[in-house]
Structure 1
Amino acid sequence: MTAGVIEAALAFGFAGLGLALAMNLWRLFKGPGVTDRILALDTIVINTIGLIVLAGIAGGSGTAFEAALLLAMVGFVGTAAYAKFLLRGDIIE
């Protein structure tokens, strides 16, 4: 009984995150401004982290959680670098 519920929740999660990822890709390409594109990239990273975590739950792999943590750190640094570039015009002072 609970295995079927978990599988249904995983399928719903994959579908929801896949739809969110598709909408973020649309915003990335059609965004009216640079700030919208940066926010779309940050949200794409967050959705990808969610997909990695769901894949780890579905596959029973603990390595997926470490990969999600690494992607979160890289995504944060990338978003901070983009924001700094937007504000000042250069990244390294």
Structure 2
Amino acid sequence: MAWDTEMALAIKNTSRAALAGQPQPWYRAEVVQVTPKLIFAIADKEFKFDSSTGLIMTATAKSKTWKVGMQAAALLHGAQLLVLDSL
């Protein structure tokens, strides 16, 4: 339960930061690998995230069957990428 609250607060604070003129934290993440690990990339595939390097997924995103080339809406917070859902 605490994780859900923390995630909701992070999204709320991120939205406020965007309204205050700070850089937009939303990214279009792309699946670049599915096996042996699911890997998402952002910023022209310059930054890659998997479960051992800061990839976090909502329950909705986790329930998807991801394929290479699919895209998702994601939030970048520090060194972690939170994948929200497919686009």
TM-score in terms of structure 1 length: 0.31
TM-score in terms of structure 2 length: 0.32
More helix by share: 1
For the pair shown, which has the larger CA radius of gyration, 1 or 2? 1
More strand by share: 2
